[in-house]
Structure 1
Amino acid sequence: MPADAFRMFQLAAQGFCCSQIILILGLDDLGKENPDLIKAMHGLCGGIGRSGKTCGALTGGACLIGLSAGKGSPGESGHLKINAMLKELMNWFEDVHGSIECEGILDQSLDEGNEYPVRCGNIVAATFNKVQEIRAANSEDTESDEEY
């Protein structure tokens, strides 16, 4: 399901950042909530602690792929192509945005107190949609991927 612009705006207005929004949208699609996971995603906001490093939309997208395709318990195995899926996301992201770092993508500071630019919303939507595309393309590769 493509990213819902209104839902994204609503989440941003509630103070959630890019990485958190991607995971909330993914959990919405699964009919789940996980406040602890969303809280943990706060560490990735603004390029990890608002440092401007690796974009939270990208890291959030990687975590969403991991949420549905990663190993989560000792008796479970992750998707056979999880690393290829993550590499595809990262390569796509850099090709589309010219960088994987907030500082390389945005022309404004992400210092504490600054609002996230509108451009971030477009990046989150495109990244969420790409993650959904990657997940769908790999959903039939193993029988154990029930969450796709």
Structure 2
Amino acid sequence: MTVDAFRMFQLATQGFCCSQIMVILGLDEQGQENPDLIRAMHGLCGGIGRSGKTCGALTGGVCVLGLKMGKGTPQEFGHSKLNRMINDLLEWFEEVHGSIDCDGILDHSLGEGNEYPVQCGNIVSTTFSKVNEILAAYADEPEMSDEE
């Protein structure tokens, strides 16, 4: 699925950050809403509490992979290759952006506000597309296993 630029812009203007937008887009694909999950994702904004550390587009992408392939109930099993999918995303992200940290990607610190640089929209868009590419690549793999 391609990223709807208008939807991303709409979410950003509503004050959602990169990690939240990633998960909202993932939920949109499933026709779901989950305000509690989106609220929890707020802690990952701006590189975890706006610290400039691990980028919210990356952590949000990892959460989307978990949302779609992880264990959610005692009766479920996570996808046997979930960790491999996450590592594929991590390696791609660092190769493309040169860092996994906001401070290493952006040319300035995020500071205390809620503003996000324009380049963050492109990072969210490309990362969300990569998440879907990874999901498609593993679609033919055995889906569920009790091994992680």
**Offset from partner CA, 1:51-91 (integer Å, 9 cap, x none):** 00000000000000000111111111100100000000000
Partner of 2:131: 131
CA distance in 2, matches of 1:16, 1:142: 35
Partner of 1:78: 78
SS at match of 1:78: coil
Q: 1:142 to 1:98 in 2, by over 3 A?
A: same
The TM-score with structure 2 as length reference comes to 0.94
Shift of residue 110, structure 1, vs aligned partner: 1.1
1:20 aligned partner, one-letter code: Q
Partner of 2:112: 112
Partner of 1:19: 19
Partner of 1:6: 6
Shift of residue 140, structure 1, vs aligned partner: 2.2
RMSD: 1.3
SS at match of 1:80: coil
Matches within 5 A, 1:65-104: 65-104=65-104
Partner of 1:61: 61
Q: Which runs of 4+ in 1 moved over 4 A?
A: none
SS at match of 1:54: coil
The answer for unaligned runs of 5 or more in structure 1 is none
SS at match of 1:46: coil
**How many percent of aligned residue pairs carry the same amino acid?**
71
CA distance in 1, matches of 2:102, 2:113: 16
CA distance in 1, matches of 2:78, 2:33: 21
Partner of 1:37: 37
Shift of residue 114, structure 1, vs aligned partner: 5.2
1:54 aligned partner, one-letter code: T
Shift of residue 12, structure 1, vs aligned partner: 0.2
CA distance in 2, matches of 1:80, 1:121: 31
The answer for unaligned runs of 5 or more in structure 2 is none
Q: In the comparison of the two structures, how many residue pairs are matched? A: 145
SS at match of 2:72: coil
Contact 2:79 2:143 in 1 (8 A): no
CA distance in 1, matches of 2:35, 2:87: 27
